[in-house]
């Protein structure tokens, strides 16, 4: 029952659902998620830790970045895989999450992590609604 509670608590937060929606599109680093969500890096890291502990996301080093992605379904599939199978269409089709994902697609880790200046401003203005 402990794992069930972890999974349900992980899914009971709007920012964590937004993170899952963004990770459906592609793996992302913390700085991309931070920019897209408009919250602090420690908050993003806390949300990711909760999702990771629930077995919903995992991470992988990619050069200087640590990319977070949706956890692959285990073989054989378990209850989490079944739950995600039902949740993914909902996350994909929800109008608010669909619009959020579209705005967040303009976040570019190269400009964020290099602190290129003008690009950061343009992305911040784009994500404000």
Looking at residue 70, its pLDDT comes to 96
> Does the domain spanning 2-127 belong to CATH 1.10.287.110?
no
Q: What is the pLDDT of residues 37-81, one digit of tens each?
A: 999 999 999 999 999 999 999 999 988 889 999 999 887 888 888
**Residue 13 clears pLDDT 80, i.e. is over it:** yes
User: Residue 122 — very low, low, confident or very high, per pLDDT cuts 50/70/90?
Assistant: very low
Looking at residue 115, its pLDDT comes to 53
Whose tokens are 């919903």? That residue is: 56
What Å distances lie between residue 7 and 34, 50, 51, 82, CA to CA? Answer: 22, 9, 8, 12
Looking at residue 125, its pLDDT comes to 38
> Could you give the CA distance from residue 27 to residue 127 in angstroms, rounded to a whole number?
19
Q: What is the pLDDT of residues 93-118, one digit of tens each?
A: 999 999 999 999 888 887 777 653 44
65-70/57-62 β-pairing:
antiparallel
Q: Where are the domains of the chain?
A: 2-127
Looking at residue 123, its pLDDT comes to 40
């Amino acid at each position: 029952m402990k794992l069930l509670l972890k999974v349900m608590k992980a899914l009971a937060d709007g920012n964590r659902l937004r993170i899952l929606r963004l990770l459906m599109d592609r793996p992302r680093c913390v700085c991309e998620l931070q920019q897209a969500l408009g919250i602090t890096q420690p908050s993003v890291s806390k949300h990711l830790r909760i999702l990771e502990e629930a077995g919903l996301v995992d991470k992988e080093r990619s050069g200087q970045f640590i990319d977070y992605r949706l956890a692959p379904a285990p073989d054989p599939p378990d209850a989490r895989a079944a739950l995600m199978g039902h949740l993914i269409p909902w996350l994909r089709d929800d109008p608010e999450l669909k619009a959020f994902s579209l705005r967040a697609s303009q976040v570019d880790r190269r400009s964020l992590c290099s602190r290129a200046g003008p690009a950061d401003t343009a992305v911040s203005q784009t994500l404000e609604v």
